[in-house]
């Protein structure tokens, strides 16, 4: 994303935090990885308005909660606000076939799509992997697909963002 001229701000769920090397990501992006609301009395940290949001790798849990409007983590709170504000959002799942077969997930994906969220699940997007094989699939994760979709969404919703620093 940065190579394409985007400023990258990272927000992690509590479950995703242990998978990240936050100091390295802080250094690479120039911004701290956020994962929690500020404590009472702590000043609110501000960031520029997002031109687009990529939710990736999105778990079944995150997708279902986001569709249901459950904002029980900092990340889900921010994502819910972005949906309400009309910020283009791309969701790139990373789930197995057992989770993808569940009705609650299928309904959540449908609900997000009705709200205008691009969920890349199925043909032309992320194809769920067999349970227990996620480690083997991660190198082929479709980051480029999500970035291309964000570029296209911004070209439609905010043509000025195409010529300015994001």
| Domains of the chain: total | 1
**Other CB atoms within 10 A of residue 16 CB:** 18
45 falls within a domain: no
The pLDDT tens digits for 119-142 are 999 888 888 999 999 888 888 887
90 falls within a domain: yes
Is 90 exceeded by the pLDDT of residue 3?
no
CATH code for the domain in which residue 86 is found: 3.40.50
Q: State both tokens at 58.
A: 């999105």
pLDDT at 162: 43
pLDDT at 24: 92
Sheet holding 53-58, edge to edge: 53-58, 89-93, 118-119
Give alpha helix (H) positions in the chain: 22-29, 60-68, 74-84, 97-100, 103-114, 134-137, 143-157
The pLDDT tens digits for 78-120 are 999 999 999 999 999 999 999 999 999 999 999 999 999 999 9
43 falls within a domain: no
Quickly state the pLDDT bin for 166 (edges 50, 70, 90). Answer: very low
27 falls within a domain: yes
Angle at 128 between CA 127 and CA 131, to 5 degrees: 155
Task: Give me the phi and psi of 41, to 5 degrees please.
Answer: 90, -15
Q: Provide the domain limits for residue 27.
A: 17-33+51-162
The pLDDT tens digits for 24-81 are 999 988 888 888 888 888 877 776 678 889 999 999 999 999 999 999 999 999 999 9
Is 60 exceeded by the pLDDT of residue 159?
no
Quote the CA–CA distance of 34 and 75 in Å, as a whole number. Answer: 8
42 falls within a domain: no
8 falls within a domain: no
Higher-pLDDT residue of 103, 5:
103
pLDDT at 2: 74
40 falls within a domain: no
């Amino acid at each position: 994303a940065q190579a394409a001229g985007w400023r990258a701000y990272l927000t992690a769920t509590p479950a995703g935090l242990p998978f990240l090397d936050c100091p390295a990501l802080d250094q690479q992006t120039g911004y701290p990885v956020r994962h929690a609301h500020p404590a009472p009395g702590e000043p609110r940290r501000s960031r520029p308005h997002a031109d687009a949001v990529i939710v990736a790798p999105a778990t079944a849990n995150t997708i279902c909660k986001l569709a249901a409007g459950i904002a029980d983590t900092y990340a889900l709170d921010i994502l819910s606000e972005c949906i309400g504000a009309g910020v283009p959002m791309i969701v790139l799942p990373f789930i197995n076939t057992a989770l993808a077969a569940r009705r609650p997930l299928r309904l959540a994906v449908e609900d997000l799509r009705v709200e205008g969220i691009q969920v890349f699940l199925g043909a032309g997007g992320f194809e769920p992997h067999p349970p227990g094989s996620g480690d083997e699939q991660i190198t082929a994760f479709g980051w480029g697909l999500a970035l291309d979709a964000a570029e296209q969404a911004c070209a439609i919703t905010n043509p000025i963002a195409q010529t300015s620093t994001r």
